[in-house]
Structure 1
Amino acid sequence: MNRKWITVCLLGLLICIPLSQLVIGMVGMNRTIIIAGGPEQGLYRPLALSLQKALTRLGRKSEVRTTDGTLENLKLVAEGKADFALFQPGAYEGLKRFEPELLQGESRKIDAAGLEQVTFVANLYSQPLHIAVREGSGIESLMDFKGKRVNLGVKLSGDYPMARMLMETLEIGVGELHTNLTYTGLVEAFERGELDAAVITVGMQANVFRALAKSGKIRFLSIPNHEALAAMELHLTPFSVPRGVYQFEGNPVPRDTIQTVATGAHLITSSELEGGLVERVTEEVLSSTFQRENKLQELFEQGKSFANSKPFFPVHEGARWVYEPESRTLLDP
């Protein structure tokens, strides 16, 4: 008799748990999914809009929210105010390391408990660190940066902590010669001869590189011992920017292949979001339709191995079901 009741109870659990998860999922179907998409003109924006189209195909309502970029995106997910967001690994930790006072305001501070709820979905593309120098600036290598006018990027952007990391490696303190211009601002400053160099960390499809190449006044430098730099920072990998990728007619830009480091562009979510939805979104990201639409060449060529590379947060269970199908149990929906 005891064995009979144990069997009945186990069967009940096997039926009720998936059923309860199904009910929870059906209730969530009526909720609008919020996607933190970055600035209007940023690279994250078209990806967010593409993700919105994917959610529509899945029968889910969604909304793309304009934000200031990676740090606000992280904060929104951590606070449960966004369901999906694009994020640059290492940006938040870099600001905490180099200028923690920038994160002290209530609008920027992220609670540690909230960060524990953030999970990884997929790596979408690489964001290489570029060092652009003006012809005639006297800069032939990174060792010539001392005493030069260098743009480090907007302080709350992903550029700034990467630039600060590079300056620390060069043992150069930040001072009055260092600026925090936008991409438009730095292109104009180069044109006027008011800037000697700029440190830029963004995907190769960014318009700023074509604008710099078109000016005919800019060279790009490699980073010596870039593999060693990548080994010292968890979120970085060695990276090569191909010769001529920004201008292949006439004088190629860059004129030689650049050896540098890169961080990723990660899709993140909350651990509270239902696994079934995250699983389907991960499958959409891995579809050739999404990859072609967003020109995600690395993801197209390497598939799951690239999508699941260097997760900066714990992998969400729904994404793990895609990367590791054997991780799904009988109790998972």
Structure 2
Amino acid sequence: MPRPSLPHISFSLTAVREFASTAAPFALLALALLVVAYLVLDPSPPRHVVLATGVDQGAYAEFGKRYAARLAQHHIRVELRATQGAAENLQLLREGKVDLAFVQGGADRDRGPDENPDANLRSLGSMFYEPVWLFYREESAQRLLKAQELRSLSQLPGWRVNIGAPGSGVPNLMQRLIEANRIEPATLTLQQQPQTPAVVDLLEGRIDALVFASAPESLMVQMLLQTPGIRLFDFAQAEAYARRFPFLTPVNLPRGVVDLAGDLPRQDVHLVAPTATLVARESLHPALVQLFVQAAQQVHGEAGWFQRKGDFPNARDNERALHREAERVYSHGEPLLQRYLPFWLANLIDRMWVVLLSIVGLLIPLSRVVPPLVEFRIRSRVFRWYGQLRAIEAEEGRTPAQELNERLDEIEARVAGITLPLSYADELYALKGHIQQVRRRLQPRPA
């Protein structure tokens, strides 16, 4: 096969160069629109986010580590902020000091109907149950009640009870339960120590009972359930509590679920449980919301002591509005593109496809102008010399022929340097023929 000659390649490159220079303004317009859309839509999430968890060795802290590990797979660093619990988490969210936080249902203080401090907060869904664990000493029940077990919260007067550190959600919750049982606060010795010192005091007999709300993954829960001499209070009125307080759900701790071989507990235990939700600021990037909800489905989706597989996470939240991006994930699942592409690319396409289609729709009509413009630019290189030829013809007889011939020589030399695509070669040769025609007219005629 013969190789293409150099002049042929030169003519082809000329055509490409003409097309590129003519289409360049439209390409720049498309690029400018993409840049503006990127800045407005901000499709790429930040690489750092702060999640408020809870006390060390608590369920919030354990779950926070799992979230951090899963988001690290997408190169997102999750900073875990240790706190005293749900109430402090909620306050940090309202002050904008964290991006997300675990919040226990009913942890907030009572507020008037016109108050809405959570207007800028959105729920990412319900994550898991947080049963209210009231552990007490058998010896205290025998000494104070002359009985083997505590049967009702109304029997608590005279007890020393730790209801959780300030900043956790339990103090506010216990205040409501105490009021519902018409217990005078003065008849109780209430303490608000952090969880670990309170457990030590309970084991050493300095307090009679302690209360905290936590998922069963908490190491403290696991340890106290198997400690001799420590008993778990059975909320026999769990259904009634749930009807009085909408944020509570009656749950059942099945017999033997703690230790099948040791048959712990030896009977079903009724508990009440607030639902833990993951709450984020409304300004949190939608891509991060999507990642956290997907991580929640992996972290909380399995069966547990109080739920079956698939019960959590879910879109139910009685206290805060659900984030739109979280609702999208719950409704439609993982985006299709993320199954085949890296997250950053799938997210970019997902956020930008509407804009891309709009820009394409705008450029298609404009692109029809490009071929006529290319043709005009190429032909103008030839046609602009015809004006000078007509000027030379008009000066015939008024300007010396020698001067006009010199001007024709100059035009001919410059036309010889014009490079056009082969499809326009006929017009270039026609111009050269017209130059020679004018030259012949300028020659002296015989008398």
TM-score (normalised: structure 2)? 0.58
Higher Rg of the two aligned structures: 2
Distance 2:353 2:137 in 1: 56
Q: Counterpart of 2:50 in structure 1: which amino acid?
A: I
**Does the 8 A contact of 2:216 with 2:305 survive in 1?**
no
Equivalent residue number for residue 96 of structure 2: 80
**Structure 2 residue aligned with 1:105:** none
What's 2:42 paired with? 25
2:164 aligned with 1:153, yes or no?
A: yes
The answer to whether structure 1 residue 322 and structure 2 residue 329 are counterparts is yes
Question: SS of the counterpart of 1:34?
Answer: strand
Query: What corresponds to 1:51 in structure 2?
Result: 67
Give the structure 2 partner of residue 66 of structure 1: 82
Task: Give 1:218-257 correspondences, 5 Å limit.
Answer: 218-250=230-262, 252-257=263-268
**d(CA) in 1 for partners of 2:324, 2:309:** 24
Mapped to 2, the partners of 1:134 and 1:93 lie a distance apart of 30
C-alpha deviations, 1:20-42, integer Å up to 9, x for none?
Answer: 3775334x534522222323333
**Counterpart-to-counterpart distance in 2, 1:213 and 1:286:** 28
Partners of 1:296 and 1:124 lie apart in 2 by 12
Structure-2 separation of matches of 1:227 and 1:332: 50
Task: Give the aligned CA root-mean-square deviation in angstroms.
Answer: 3.4
- Paired residue for 2:124? 121
Counterpart mapping for 1:296-311 below 5 A:
301-303=309-311, 306-311=313-318
Q: Which of the two has greater helix per residue?
A: 2
SS in 2 for 1:35: strand
What SS class does the counterpart of residue 42 from structure 2 fall into?
helix
The answer (yes or no) to whether the contact 2:125–2:315 under 8 Å persists in 1 is yes
Flag structure 1 segments of 5+ consecutive residues without an equivalent: 1-15, 98-111
| Preserved CA contact (<8 Å) 1:35 1:85 | yes
DSSP-derived class of the 1:272 partner = coil
CA gap 1:45/1:209 in 2 versus in 1, 3 angstroms: closer
- TM-superposed deviation, 1:242: 1.8
Q: For the residues of structure 1 that align with 2:171 and 2:45, how far apart are their CA atoms?
A: 39
Pairwise CA distance, 1:89:
1.7
Q: Does 1:312 align with 2:319?
A: yes
- Mark the CA change 1:244 to 1:86 in structure 2 (over 3 Å): closer, same or farther: same
Aligned equivalents of 1:174, 1:331: Cα separation in 2: 58
Task: Classify 1:228/1:178 alpha carbon distance in 2 versus 1 (closer, same or farther; 3 Å).
Answer: same
CA distance change for structure 1 residues 281 and 207 in 2, over 3 Å: closer, same or farther?
A: closer
Between the aligned partners of 2:254 and 2:279, the Cα distance in structure 1 is: 29
Q: Give the distance between the partners of 2:39 and 2:307, measured in 1 at CA.
A: 31
Aligned mates of 1:179, 1:29 — CA distance in 2: 43
Distance 1:42 1:130 in 2: 13
The superposition leaves residues 11-57 of structure 1 with CA deviations (integer Å, 9 ceiling, x where unpaired) of xxxxx89x83775334x534522222323333212222222222222
- Whether the aligned pair in 2 keeps the contact of 1:133 and 1:197 (CA below 8 Å) is yes
Match of 1:277 among 275, 282, 288: 288
Mapped to 2, the partners of 1:81 and 1:187 lie a distance apart of 30
- 1:171 offset after TM fit, Å? 1.0
Contact (CA 8 Å) 1:124, 1:299: kept in 2 or not?
A: no
Q: Call closer, same or farther: CA 1:282–1:296 in 2, change over 3 Å.
A: farther
* CA–CA distance in structure 2, aligned partners of residues 261 and 188 of structure 1: 25
Shift of 1:298: 6.0
Deviation at 1:319, TM superposition (A): 0.3
Structure 2 CA distance for partners of 1:46 and 1:132, relative to 1, 3 Å = closer
Q: In the superposition, relative to structure 1, how do residues 146 and 307 fare at CA in structure 2: closer, same or farther (>3 Å)? A: same
CA gap 1:297/1:208 in 2 versus in 1, 3 angstroms: closer
Partner residue of 1:141?
151
**Residue in 2 aligned with 1:205?**
217
Distance 2:38 2:324 in 1: 14
Q: Kindly provide the CA deviation profile for residues 45-70 of structure 1, in whole angstroms up to 9, marking residues without a partner as x.
A: 22222222222223434322233322
Residue-pair matches, total: 296
The question of whether the paired residues in 2 share the 8 Å contact of 1:83 and 1:273 is answered with: yes
Secondary structure of the 1:85 match is strand
1:265 Cα deviation from its structure 2 partner: 1.6
**Equivalent of 1:267 in 278, 288, 292:** 278
Q: 1:295, CA displacement in angstroms?
A: 7.9
Give the gaps of 5 or more residues in structure 2: 1-32, 336-350, 355-447
Alpha-carbon distance between aligned partners in 1 of 2:242 and 2:78, rounded to the nearest angstrom: 37
